[in-house]
Amino acid sequence: MVNWLVKQQLVLPFDKLKLIYLKEVSSTNDYLILNHQKLSNYTVLRTDYQTNGRGQFLRTWTSNKSENLLFSILLKNILIIDIDNIKKIIIESIMEFLSKYNLKPKFKLPNDILVNNKKIVGILIETLTKSHYEYKYVVIGIGININQTEFNDLIATSLKLETKKDYNLDDLFYEILTIIFKKLTK
């Protein structure tokens, strides 16, 4: 486990944020779920590649190595009544992020964001109930297609396909985290 973006961590709007980078992991959500007891609230795990990435309804999430943003956020001790607001914040944050690149994103239930009717973002939220009013953890997995241009038979797109530009993943990761955590910590 390596702390990542230490320089930028100091400028993020939330000082308790812990960033972890793993070059490769089976699934960012699985890692945070398996290690939630020893990780702090607001831990974010980013990877370049998931060997067993997954989405809603046991679907797989495939992504080329080092071409997309793949990360998960661990929130601990969250009131059950707050989960809908958290989902709304995540969706709004991603839509705001994509709109900065002159895209017109649309949310599609249960967990996709589309551009031009093609999937550009997948979101997977998993929880563990602690009591009838509180979650022990909420893990939010986010995959954003950035520089990938081939998707086999999937109806998908990327920032690069839509804008015809290459992007620095580190810069975009910092940008999306800033948007998310400004909204989450209001």
Contact in structure between 40 and 32 (CB atoms under 8 Å) = no
Span between the terminal Cα atoms of the chain, in Å: 29
% of the chain surpassing 90 pLDDT: 76
Helix (H) or strand (E) holding 138: strand 134-144
Residues whose CB falls within 8 Å of the CB of residue 9, separated by 6 or more in sequence, listed in order: 3, 17, 19
Helix H or strand E segment including 184: helix 169-184
The position carrying tokens 């940008």 is 175
Cα angle: 76, vertex 79, 83; to 5 degrees? 90
Q: Which residue, 85, 113, 82, is CA-closest to 97?
A: 113
Residue 52 vs residue 132, higher pLDDT = 132
What does the pLDDT read at residue 54? 61
Q: What is the model's pLDDT at position 7?
A: 37
What is the identity of the amino acid at 185?
A: T
Domains, the chain, ranges and CATH?
Answer: 2-184 (3.30.930.10)
3-55 pLDDT, tens per residue? 344 334 434 555 678 999 999 999 999 999 999 999 999 999 999 999 876 65
Half-sphere exposure of 160 (CA within 13 A, CB side): 15
Question: In terms of DSSP bridges, do strands 18-25 and 69-79 run parallel, antiparallel, or are they unpaired?
Answer: unpaired
Render pLDDT for 142-176 as a digit per residue (tens, 0 to 9).
Answer: 999 999 999 988 899 999 999 999 999 999 999 99
Would you state the pLDDT for residue 1? 35
